[in-house]
A and B are shown apart, each in its own frame.
Chain A
């Protein structure tokens, strides 16, 4: 009994990470109808940026976020202004193709630069600290921090969307681009801000991923799939739904792995497909997206 409780708890905690993979994806699709195929590779890029920062400055990975988040946000702004804005239009295909190309470029660029060796960020003693919540049920400190950060990121995005002028601009642009321009909003800038925010979230996700597990240049696409699945399970446009989607995915994978280690990914995909079949709009759809 406690064994299963442990499994479910671990699944919930990793669900926070999946929700962070998903949040940035959902954000930019909502604001500009852009499906970012390079999203997973950008997560891996953030992990490598963190690797360089931690090595160069000798700081621990969580502290490195002070540098990695703004660096990724600037990359996001420049990427949108310099490239992706030109792909946007009535057709969904050009941004899909361009971000697919970007995904390949990032993977191979990382491969050239960092080789195919697997890396990991060392967070020190907090990696192995645990505490007991009840008899036989243990929680790791790091997964707990990661989940708390994920919940804070989701809450922050939700607040930003509904309480700030930038969030209002995001929602207005999502509703009607032409009229948003009539209101004096430069949509090129609004889109670039959305991408900057998306990559800031990616930076946090990338660092936690790299602390938690080994990474190499090729693992991006699988993170993209987890992100997609969490968004779709939760329902498009609902940030809290995305967190729930991430948790459902995490728990499904944990239960699958408990039954048979080979079933970890399969179980996640099966639950995703089952939800897609029964509720194609996701569990908590809320359409600003």
Chain B
């Protein structure tokens, strides 16, 4: 068994005095898609922020590619190869679509993704490249946010609720592009409230409940009952 690409060992994260994560451990292998599910406030976004360096964990280790990254600032984590697609997309409103993508690529990490490649993946972005980012529809903005993260040629991409606020048909459309992204050899962590979507896309599933891992396993082997028990804590 090769070493995992990312390993979290018993991390605790806090917002001030409020503890949001309790001893969370998690592994992502190279090329693997991992889903993290859980109810609102279970700590899913906190988990991604901790990995991405936006919120360093107070205790525990984060090891990426054999190197400890816990406590490194976000810009450094990105340069090592972890990109976050933030919740709510958070494109830069005063930049055009193309400029948003270029900012994503400014770390100049080498790899398969370039403006041409992300435009191939999301042709609608090529059509709208010179428009301001806020003029895109919600689904297009999500595509732009994913493309922006890809531009840094990450080895691990963290997606925070990419289905949030989007029509089901748009969500399906976006999820349909994920295999093409994973085929380039990167790993994904998908944080989702849409459990069905997450289970379909992922190999491994972790369910968070009130800041703790309540369930983990192979996506194909988990039963609906065990998931709902872990999800709702009943």
Q: Chain A: residues with CB nearer than 8 A to chain B?
A: 165, 168-169, 171-172, 174-176, 178-187, 287-288
Q: List residues 91-117 of chain B with CB under 8 A from any CB of chain A.
A: 92-95, 99, 102-104, 106-107
By beta carbon, the residue of chain B nearest A174 is B94
Contacts of B103 in A (CB 8 A): 168-169, 172, 180, 183, 185
Segment from B76-84, B166-174, B222-230 that makes contact with A? B76-84
A171 touches B75 (CB 8 A): no
A171 touches B78 (CB 8 A): no
CB distance from A213 to the nearest CB of B (A): 38
By beta carbon, the residue of chain B nearest A181 is B74
Judge whether B86 is part of the interface by a CB distance below 8 angstroms: yes
A183 touches B107 (CB 8 A): yes
Contacts of B102 in A (CB 8 A): 165, 168
A181 touches B79 (CB 8 A): no
Q: How many pairs, one residue from A and one from B, have CB atoms within 8 Å of each other in the complex?
A: 67
A184 touches B75 (CB 8 A): yes
CB distance from A194 to the nearest CB of B (A): 15
A183 with B86: in contact, given A171-B92, A175-B93, A176-B92 (CB under 8 Å)? no
Chain B interface size range = 20 to 34
Contacts of B99 in A (CB 8 A): 168, 171-172
Q: Chain B: residues with CB nearer than 8 A to chain A?
A: 52-54, 73-75, 78-79, 83-84, 86, 90, 92-95, 99, 102-104, 106-107, 148, 152
Partner of B107, one of A168, A174, A184, A187: A184
Contacts of B73 in A (CB 8 A): 181, 186
Contacts of A185 in B (CB 8 A): 75, 103, 106
A183 touches B95 (CB 8 A): no
A183 touches B104 (CB 8 A): yes
B52 touches A182 (CB 8 A): yes
Bound Cα distance A71, B4 (Å): 49
Bound Cα distance A165, B102 (Å): 8
Contacts of B78 in A (CB 8 A): 181-184
- In the complex, 22 of the A-B residue pairs with CB atoms within 8 angstroms, ordered by the A residue number, are A168-B95, A169-B103, A171-B92, A171-B99, A175-B92, A176-B90, A176-B92, A178-B54, A178-B74, A179-B86, A179-B92, A180-B103, A181-B54, A181-B75, A182-B52, A182-B74, A182-B78, A183-B78, A184-B79, A186-B73, A186-B75, A287-B94
Additional pairs, 12, CB under 8 Å, beyond known A172-B92, A178-B54: A168-B95, A171-B92, A172-B99, A175-B92, A175-B93, A175-B95, A176-B90, A181-B75, A183-B75, A183-B104, A184-B152, A288-B94
A165 with B86: in contact, given A172-B92, A175-B95 (CB under 8 Å)? no
Bound Cα distance A172, B95 (Å): 7
Bound Cα distance A175, B99 (Å): 13
Contacts of A169 in B (CB 8 A): 103, 106
Contacts of A181 in B (CB 8 A): 53-54, 73-75, 78
Contacts of A183 in B (CB 8 A): 75, 78, 103-104, 106-107, 148, 152
CB distance from B135 to the nearest CB of A (A): 15
Partner of A175, one of B84, B94, B104, B148: B94
Question: Which has the most chain A C-beta neighbours within 10 Å: B90, B95, B103?
Answer: B103
By beta carbon, the residue of chain B nearest A237 is B94
Contacts of B83 in A (CB 8 A): 182
Bound Cα distance A187, B53 (Å): 14
Bound Cα distance A176, B99 (Å): 14
CB distance from B157 to the nearest CB of A (A): 12
By beta carbon, the residue of chain A nearest B82 is A182
Partner of B54, one of A175, A182, A184: A182
By beta carbon, the residue of chain A nearest B73 is A181
Question: Which has the most chain A C-beta neighbours within 10 Å: B99, B106, B107, B152?
Answer: B106
Partner of B90, one of A171, A179, A288: A179
CB distance from A51 to the nearest CB of B (A): 40
Contacts of B107 in A (CB 8 A): 183-184
Contacts of B54 in A (CB 8 A): 178, 181-182
Contacts of A165 in B (CB 8 A): 102, 106
Bound Cα distance A169, B104 (Å): 10
By beta carbon, the residue of chain B nearest A287 is B94
Contacts of A287 in B (CB 8 A): 94
Contacts of A179 in B (CB 8 A): 86, 90, 92
By beta carbon, the residue of chain A nearest B109 is A184
A182 touches B86 (CB 8 A): yes
By beta carbon, the residue of chain B nearest A288 is B94
Contacts of B90 in A (CB 8 A): 176, 179
Contacts of B148 in A (CB 8 A): 183
Contacts of B79 in A (CB 8 A): 184
